[in-house]
Structure 1
Amino acid sequence: MNTEMNTDQIAAAVVTAIENIKGQDIVVLDVSKQSALFERMIIASAESTRQTKAIAHNVQVELKALGVPDQGIEGLTSGEWVLLDLGSIVVHIMQPAVRQYYDLEALWSAAADQRNRRTS
């Protein structure tokens, strides 16, 4: 990972790469208190499998150009839900029906609420 860029800068670059391919409903979640594996989760919607794959590819290309190669990618075969592992950031690019079904935003928000209740 590029040591010159911090997590927030990488997240901003990911958001830009998603926006460049017309990704929609982009959400950046700070999950650093819920996960020891990564600090941010970025979730975006794409209208087709082709767009989902194109967004994932653009994120890979743009981040690699900045010195931040991905550590893995899953879901390119079906294209309904593509996950990119960027180390401190995990990117989910999903078609709207899949995103609504799994509702990762609510799942991770519930985890944060549970953690906050335990520490209060």
Structure 2
Amino acid sequence: MKSVEERAKRIKELLEDKKAEDVQIFDLKDKGYFVDFVVIGTSLGDKHTTALLDFLKEKLKPEGEEFLKVQTSDDWVVIDLGDMIVHIMTEAYRKRYNIEEFLEEIRKGEY
């Protein structure tokens, strides 16, 4: 079984292969957050967001990845993989919520 870090890198690769933009990985192990890693990527629009989710399911489920919970809206998909969360958002939604700043504070131990 791959480590959570290897799995996060695999997800980043897959998202970038399908034109997700500004894909970032946040390593939050031992930071008191409820998951070890968070992956965030920007989609090109609502249809692209859904297509990225479907692509991840198609590629990762055969590799043993278990999608515990998936929440979707027009602008955002959140995938709970147990020890990792994946956010796929439109650019406007990503700018609006600026999750990176929050996650960076956690990573640095400032939250």
TM-score (norm 1): 0.84
* Structure 1 residue aligned with 2:37: 40
Structure 1 alignment gaps of length 5 or more: none
> Would you say 1:111 and 2:111 are equivalent positions?
no
Question: Deviation digits for residues 75-116 of structure 1, max 9, x if unmatched?
Answer: 1xx330100111111000000110011101101112334x35
Residue aligning to 2:16: 19
Question: Aligned partners of 1:33, 1:103: CA distance in 2, in Å?
Answer: 22
The alignment of Structure 1 onto Structure 2 pairs a total of residues equal to 111
State the SS of the aligned residue for 2:34: coil
RMSD (Å), alpha carbons: 1.7
Q: Which position in structure 1 is the counterpart of 2:59?
A: 62
Distance 1:111 1:9, change over 3 A: closer
Q: Which moved more, 1:14-23 or 1:46-55?
A: 14-23
- Divergent runs of 4+, >6 A: none
1:23 and 1:73 map into 2 onto residues whose CA distance is 18
In the aligned structure 2, how far is the partner of 1:79 from the partner of 1:21? 18
Contact 1:83–1:92 under 8 Å retained in 2:
yes
Deviation at 1:33, TM superposition (A): 3.1
Instruction: Tell me the percent identity.
Output: 23
**1:73 aligns to what SS in structure 2?**
strand
**Which residue in 2 is equivalent to 1:93?**
88
Letter in 1 for 2:97: Y
